[in-house]
Each structure stands twice: as structure tokens, then as C-alpha cells.
Structure 1
Amino acid sequence: MSLPLDLHQLALDIKKWGQDLGFQQVGISDTDLSLEEPRLQAWLDNQYHGEMAWMARHGMMRARPHELLPGTLRVISVRMNYLPAKAAFASTLKNPQLGYVSRYALGRDYHKVLRNRLKKLGETIRERCSEAQFRPFVDSAPVLERPLAVKAGLGWTGKHSLVLNQQAGSWFFLGELLIDLPLPVDTPQDEQCGRCVACLTICPTNAIVEPYKVDARRCISYLTIELEGVIPEEFRPLIGNRIYGCDDCQLICPWNRYSQLTDEDDFSPRAVLHAPPLTELFAWDEAKFLRVTEGSAIRRIGHLRWLRNVAVAIGNAPWSAENVAVLEARRGENEMLDEHIVWALARQLARRSEHAIEMQGQQKRLVRAVEKGLPRDA
């Protein structure tokens, strides 16, 4: 195959082309992930992947990108910011009557956005090297994208297992382009988490069992997205109002003080998914769910799991007659959903009793104040 004489210049050009396509950073690595294989095997042996059978199905191929595309010599890793302006993290999480959707899922499905740009990057490379073979990936194949991104110099692995970047924090998507050109590789960044363990201590379900190791079976993102059946009861109160994913470990990370906002319109939040009332979400029929989530990453969990997640969130909300009414309205539709509805109703009834006791206390204090001739708001 006829190769460019100046591979160093080609690598520089690839990075510029990538930035022109909207990627904030482009890095290049070799395909050697042999150091990751024992870590991956230990993670699988501990069953930390839960019901994600596809994680185990492909075995060590995840650490061998050259097996996905024979002849692959390099992996071009890219990152794209997704944090929207006015993300409203705190105002949504602090209001238990609203549903919190992980901020990466508020806009268009990132898989499509990044894959299309990576394909264009590959085609641009092929214009320079007509015989070059490439293949883009965005969570679409058994590839260890985070270790590859780290090797390519895009950041380091944080203790929450996500990639951190000194100038951008962690609010970005990753994608890869496998290619058969012997391009010069980039230098990895030094790990800079130091003694910080904020992500471990903030995790609502203690899913980060030790630095750099996550037990997916405990992770709220896994429970609300990947898990197909019943959410274990022990985790339901800890989920709060998170109905799709969880951002806590990123929110607490000091490096995200340097995070950069996205300028991609595709990642702008859909208003109907940005801090929506839980009771409205639980009233959606399947047709509306499919219509609202068209082109969104949320659609893949389906209407039933969506209702399951919302039911748990309503169970964690303060008591209201409306909460009880919407829960009762869907009883009997599905056995798995009913299990979560019954749990949520029990939680609501318990909150109602607490509410009644509190109101009685306020009434007694008011009566005493009136009897003493004090102002009614004393």
C-alpha cells in the first residue's frame, strides 16, 4: 500500500480535521491493551457486569481492537463535549417531584452524532491515502474505549473509572476510529486524582467499590438503563428522582470546575425531558414515549422500563394525592411494573402518615400560640 512519506504531518492533519468536525481533542494510540486484560478478567470474574452478558460474551476481544478490524495498527480516539448551558443539576435533583435525566441523554443520541463525524474523518483520511482501511466505533462494538482514550493522551482514568481531562473535566463523549496506518502515537497524561476520593463517598449506592473499580450491579445508571427486570428493593430509596442515569460522581469531581460547555445543537436539552414533573411522565402512553424519545438514547430502554424508573422516583417523592392517583391508574398493566407501583404506593402512604403527624404538630403549636395571645405565625 502506498503510504504518505510524512506520517507525522498526516497525524497533525488528522487532528486538525477532527477539530474541524467538532471534536475538541483527537489522539492516536497503538492497539496494545495487554495490561488491561487481567483487570477486565478480574472485573468479569467478580460479576461486576451484572446482566450485561455482552460484556463477557466477547471475552478479551475488548482489549484487542486489532481483532475487530484485521490489519489495524492505530486507534484514533476523539472526545466531544456534551454539557449543555443551564444544565440545572441542583434545581432538578433537589426537587423530588421532578425527574432527573443524566445530562448526556437530554439531547440527540450521541452514538449517531459521533459516528457520523468519525466516518467523515475516515473518509477525509482516505482522500489522502486512498487504500487506507478504517472503521468507526461509538459504544457499538467490544472496544475498551476509555483505556484507548487514555493511551491516546485524552486524559487519565479517574477513580470513578471515567476519563478525566485537566482542561475539560469529564463531561464529554468518546469515539474511536480504527485504522491501518502506522501513525505516530501520542503520550498519555499523568494521573492527577491524588488523594481525592470524593466520587467514592458521594455515590448514593456505593457502586465504586474501590478506586477505579465500579460494581455495575449497584450503579444507578445500570439500574435505570441496563437492568431489564426488577430493581432490587435495597437500591430503590437511594435512586431518589433519578429516572435515567446518574451524574453524581461527575458532579462532585473537582476537575469538573474546568468543564467546557458544548456548542453542539444536537446536545441541547429537549424541554420535555429537562426537569419534567414525575406525574406527567408516568401518564405517558407508549406512543407518546416513542414520539418524545425519537432520536434519543433514552428510547432504547423502552416504555416499560421508563415507567418502572418513574414509579420508583414517585415512591421517593413527598406524599401527594396526585402521586397516589397516577400510581393507582397504572396498576394491573404489567406484573413487573406492579411490583414497583406497590412499593411506591406503600412509600407514599407512609409519607402521608408522616405528613399528617407534622400537620397535627403545626395545629397544636398554632392553638397554643392563640391561647397565649401570641401572633399566629409565632
Structure 2
Amino acid sequence: MAAKEDFYKLLEVDRNASEAEIKKSYRKMAMKFHPDRNKDNPEEAEKKFKLIKEAYEVLSDPKKRSAYDQFGHAGVDPSMGGRGGFSGAESFSDIFGDVFGDIFGGAGGGRQQRSNVQRGADLRYNLELTLEEAVGGTEAVVKVPVLVACGECGGSGAKKGSSPVTCSTCHGHGQVRMQQGFFSVQQTCPTCHGSGKQIKDPCSKCYGQGRVQETKTLNVKVPPGVDTGDRIRLAGEGEAGLNGGPSGDLYVQVQVKDHAIFTRDGANLYCEVPISFPTACLGGELEVPTLDGKVKLKIPAETQTGKLFRLRGKGVKPVRGGPVGDLLCRVQIETPVRLTKEQQSLVEQLQASLSGGGKQHSPQEHGWIDGVKSFFDKLTG
């Protein structure tokens, strides 16, 4: 018996060739020794192609290649090299599918049967929450229109007492093979649309679809700390799958409504607190709202409008963990309106006192105009 030719020489690659280089060479050799291209001597071409196929199956498998590199042909089990040898156009189509399957819609070409089982679609439900519900957590009841498995036929689509039959066009494969030149191209079966089954007597409830639309009522547990944009996944509550496939998931999308008092930024809450002019001047204490009730806030004397006061731990505990945020109160000094004559007089006395005596000075006397002028002179330089 003649010794087998070296696999690397058969594929015309170096021993350190990459997987991509081996595959590229195999494509080239497969086209070169295709029987249709060697009509003068098809038997010899077929024999050569069989050897090329054996070499590729060994060198494209990392484990087999390692054994071959160490022990040569003796290190490779011949029974793992193929599926009974090369015998005509059908076997060649299967081999060609291994190499060119990525061009025609999937690896494995004609070898692999298309799976008829399909997972159901995922669904989304928009859930509006108040700030209190989002921060403290709640349980919401939602109603979702969804496709579920038909109870009449059990999801088969066939009338009760019957069952789908194997498609007569594709014989259950879900695909048909079209010959284009020397390429064998697979396409979705036009009869069963890829399912591999035909329904001769469809169900009267779902009309052969296997699914019907219903409205599900679900209880959604909303964890504390969620915010706008967060999603809650309910596994298996989406649309029912086809041909026994698993159901999809339902994603509840959270949208937090605007609050009359608070705005949220991550774990912190913000609010504006009005204070009187005397309180701003002299200091004092006032009650401010929080999501847990009112708390007292001390205002120091000479507080300016816009000053932020931080109440630690009065914000939000993040849903993904971490410290509780704070409540930041921005004070706004209220200007008194509808003053009585007596009150106006008191304000005038205060203004006179602040300006340095009983006489009221003009802006020019205070040097305000000159000050503004000198400020802009510095800017323009």
C-alpha cells in the first residue's frame, strides 16, 4: 500500500499555517478538483478531492492537527475523518457547504437541518410611577396584550385530534436546495415557510397559527430606588414561542413622573425652600418637606438667597446598591409685598441705617457709578 501524502502538502500550506490560511487553501483546491471542472478525468479528480477533504478535516480541527503533528497519520483515527467517503454530487454539496456555508446562510450547508423551534418575541411595557413609588418601591398591576399558545390545539395549529404532517416539499427540513451552476444553494421552503410541517386541518380557534392574543394581568414588584430608564425583566412573560419554542420576556420600562416639590439627580433630591427676609437676616428655624415627612432646618443669620443646605440621608437609596443620597435645599428669600405705610416706613429706616445715617445717598455719592466704570475700564484695559 502506498504511503499517504502529507496533509500539509496536499493543501499546499506550511506546517505553521493559520486556520484561516488552511481554509482559504482548501477553498481553492476544492474548486480546482471539482468533478465538473475536470470532465476529462472526473474519477481522478474525485479521488484527489477525497484526499483534500480528509486533510482539511484533520488540519482544521485543533486536537486532530496536534495529534497529526506529533505522530503523523498514525496519530489520527481514520473513522473520525469523514462520513463514509465521497460518493457523487450530494456528498460534494455537503462538503462544499462546510467551506462556503457562511456565504449561503449558515455553517454546515446541507448537513444541518434547520431548527423549526422559535423563541417568542420580547415585549416592552411602559410603567409610570410617582417619585414616592420609585423611591420607596411598590407593586403595580399591569395588563399586557400578548400572543399565548392556543389552548384549543396546544400550540400545534392543527385541529384537535389531528396533528401537523411532514412538509411534502422539503420533507421536514424547512429548506429546499436550488442548483445554481456548480453551487448548491439552500432557501427557505416556500410551502411550509421553514417550519418543516404542513397543517392539513387547521385549528378553528387560532386558524393554524398556534397562538392567540390575550390580555395578561401581571403583578410587577418594583424595587426601591428605580429611576427613569430602568427596566424590570419578567422572564417568560413575553410572546409564546413557535413549535414548542420558549416564550420571550416582558421588559417593564420605568418612567418617573415630575414631582411638585422635588427633582432627582441620581441618589440626591433637590428642592427650593422660601424664607422670609427677617429670617435670612437674623437666622431662625423652619420646617422643610422630605419624602419621609417634615424636618426642621436651622437657618444661620445673614443667609444669602441661593444657598444650599444639605440634609444627609434624606435622598434615595440606589436600586443597585450604595449609600443613601442627600436632600439639598436651596433657599430663596421672599420679597414682602403689599406693605402697609408703617411697614414701608420701617424699611426706609432700615435702608437709611444701612446706608450710613439718616440721609439717603445717591449711587454717584456711593461711588457705584464710578466703581462700575472703573470695573469695565479694567476689562477693556
Normalization by structure 2: what TM-score?
A: 0.20
- Structure number with greater Rg is 2
Q: Which has the higher helix share?
A: 1
Q: Which has the higher strand share?
A: 2
Higher relative contact order (CA 8 A, sep 6+): 1
Normalization by structure 1: what TM-score?
A: 0.21
